[in-house]
Amino acid sequence: MHTRTWLCWLIATTTIAILAPHPLYHILLMLVVTQVFVRHRDDRPLARSFSLFARVGALIWFGYVVFSVVTVGGVRGATVLLHLPAIHLPVWLGGIVLGGPITAEALAWGATRGLGLWTLLIIFGAFNALVDHHRLLRLTPRSLFHAGLAVTIALSFAPSLVHAIQDITAAQRARGHRFGSVRSWWALIGPLLAGSLERSLQLAEALEARGYGRTLSAAHNPTRVFALIAGLLSMTTALIGWLWVGPVSWPFALPVGGGGLVLTAWAAYDLSRCVPRTTYRRERWRRLDTLTWIAAAAAVTVVATIHLIDPTILVYYPFPVITEPGFDLRVGAAILLLAVPALPLTAGVPRRAYRVRADRRAARQETVSQHVLSAQS
């Protein structure tokens, strides 16, 4: 799919995960994201990073459950399951209580909050494994090219780390090394650190050789930089005034914030003209991209409307007495709309058409090569 489509899908899934902190909706969202990942995955090393995000999310979820059990600090909830020995920490350590009565409500609360973070990690893991980071970098404005490159390198850190760990592990096992005790894992950590430093130096040399950080001579005009800083300061001042005083400050916050926004946009546009950029290959917009945009917009609209009308439908709160979570069919249908990229009928048409065109192009090239060889002979 198009890179802008993946960004739209990421924003829609993240928005629904934040607006609906409900365990059933989060589980359904995780299943939808996993299905989309399975449908579009390939053999690149990026696809292997999805399992890393899923395992880290499971570890965080388990940590939330354990944390809700250990740091109770008193009876929370009416359904007491068991009693643990209580340990009162001193004031300089927070004064919290470790242990005590464990309630089903506390366990449900910890599991629900951990499930929310697990869902977000799976969403970003799927996006990181499916999107092309080089095309993602091209979407950044030219004035923010350096920041976009830093974000792209940070996104590719997890896939490159997983690929390096797999290569080092396979090489060490081929030499007869067996990973067992803690000391045996130094055979993985040592080469991993050395390889990371070597890749960092190679990246720095490649950036320097390609002229990274060099701009046109007009970019050194300090007026643009001062305008950008003044615009950001104006928007920050308007935001602080709005949060500090409240809605009464809108006669001051609206013109200051609006002026800062206009000034920042002008400075960013003027700075982008000083950064040259060329396009080697443009992405194609397919029918699947249009369907995904429509489905993502409809899903976010439905969930946001329900959040404005009756937000209790989207929230699960187990206190004071635990109850079974409810499920609204409208929210479930909105989440299922995010699975449109996984449909085999819509996803398979462009791929088959591309293969047919590639086969025809290869046949033409082979015919031309045969004519050339016959002419030479």
For residue range 120-146, list pLDDT tens digits in order.
Answer: 999 999 998 888 877 777 777 666 666
Please name the amino acid found at residue 314: L
Q: Which residue has the tokens 């951990």?
A: 114
Cβ-in-10-Å burial (0-12, 13-18, 19+) of 154 comes to: exposed
Nearest Cα neighbor of 129 from 227, 56, 52, 238 is: 52
Q: What is the pLDDT of residues 84-131, one digit of tens each?
A: 777 777 777 666 777 777 888 888 888 999 999 999 999 999 998 888
Domain locations in the chain as residue ranges: 3-215+281-342, 217-274
Residue 85, classed as helix, strand or coil, is: strand
Q: How far apart are CA 176 and CA 195, in angstroms?
A: 21
Which pair of structure tokens corresponds to residue 190?
A: 């040592």
pLDDT band at 259 (very low <50, low <70, confident <90, very high): confident
Residue 168 clears pLDDT 60, i.e. is over it: yes
Q: How far apart are CA 218 and CA 209, in angstroms?
A: 22
The answer to whether 114 touches 60, Cβ cutoff 8 Å, is: yes
The answer to whether 289 touches 349, Cβ cutoff 8 Å, is: no
- Crossing angle of helices 329-336 and 287-309, in 10° steps, is 160
Helical (H) or strand (E) element with 99? strand 97-103
